[in-house]
């Protein structure tokens, strides 16, 4: 996943962030036991710049890529979980326009921080990516927590595209986000950028009562 496009990829609700010094919000915070997996890896095998939303390359379901990455996860001692196909919309500061990308999120269990980083680096090298994004679900109070994952239903890739175009600060600092095929936003934001992430999700018409936030540690491995 090209780092210049994906400063943010991967969660939202009522954010109680007073202790983080970034304000407050209202939604459904999740605890680590509510996380579907210990960690997540966000990756793609795409190396092309795609600016046309009708490009046929965006219709791929990445089946072979999914099986190969699950094999990499397993071969390095971790347990692969489900994988979710994503439509990404990212802002390219270099091109001064939005770019599109098909990618996948992989749930990973039985893995520690170093093991997760190693797996992500293997994926990065094998598929010629500048970076691969990882997210470990952690308690909000953990010293390693530096980000949130915002997930919210009712968002399309088209709406995400339009919201990014309308908000220069969000597109420059957050970089973009992803949407599942059934219309669920997945946005990972550093704690310092939570106010901006909250504003973007509000602009997308997110119902805070149906949104969810998870705290954790994000890393661009590259």
Tens of pLDDT, residue by residue over 114-168, are: 999 999 999 999 999 999 999 999 999 999 999 999 999 999 999 999 999 999 9
Instruction: Answer whether 157's CB lies under 8 Å from 127's CB.
Output: no
**23 pLDDT tier (thresholds 50, 70, 90):** very low
Q: What is the dihedral of CA 202, 204, 209, 213, to 10 degrees?
A: -80
Q: Which phi and psi (to 5°) does residue 49 adopt?
A: -95, 120
Predicted local distance difference test score (pLDDT) of residue 110? 97
Three-class DSSP category at 77: coil
List the beta strands (DSSP E) in 3-78. 28-29, 39-43
Let me know: does 140 contact 22? Beta carbons within 8 Å: no
For residue range 25-52, list pLDDT tens digits in order.
445 555 555 788 999 999 999 999 999 9
- Percent of the chain at pLDDT exceeding 70: 85
- Domain boundary assignment for the chain: 18-221
């Amino acid at each position: 996943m090209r780092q210049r496009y994906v400063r943010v990829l991967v969660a939202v609700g009522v954010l109680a962030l007073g202790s983080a010094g970034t304000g407050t919000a209202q939604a459904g915070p999740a605890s680590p036991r509510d996380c579907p997996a210990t960690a997540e890896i966000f990756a793609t095998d795409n190396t092309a710049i795609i600016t046309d939303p009708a490009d046929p390359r965006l219709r791929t379901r990445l089946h072979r890529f999914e099986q190969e990455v699950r094999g990499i996860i397993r071969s390095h001692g971790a347990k692969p979980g489900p994988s979710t196909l994503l439509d990404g919309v990212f802002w390219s500061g270099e091109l001064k326009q939005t770019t599109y990308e098909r990618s996948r999120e992989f749930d990973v269990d039985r893995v520690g921080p170093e093991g997760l980083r190693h797996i992500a680096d293997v994926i990065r090298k094998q598929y010629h990516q500048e970076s691969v994004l990882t997210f470990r679900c952690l308690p909000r109070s953990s010293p390693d927590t530096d980000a949130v994952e915002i997930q919210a239903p009712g968002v399309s890739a088209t709406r995400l595209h339009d919201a990014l175009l309308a908000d220069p600060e969000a597109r420059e600092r957050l970089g973009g986000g992803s949407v599942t095929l059934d219309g669920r936003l997945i946005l990972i934001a550093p704690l310092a950028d939570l106010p901006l992430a909250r504003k973007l999700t509000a602009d997308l018409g997110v119902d805070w009562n149906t949104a969810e936030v998870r705290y954790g540690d994000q890393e661009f491995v590259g």
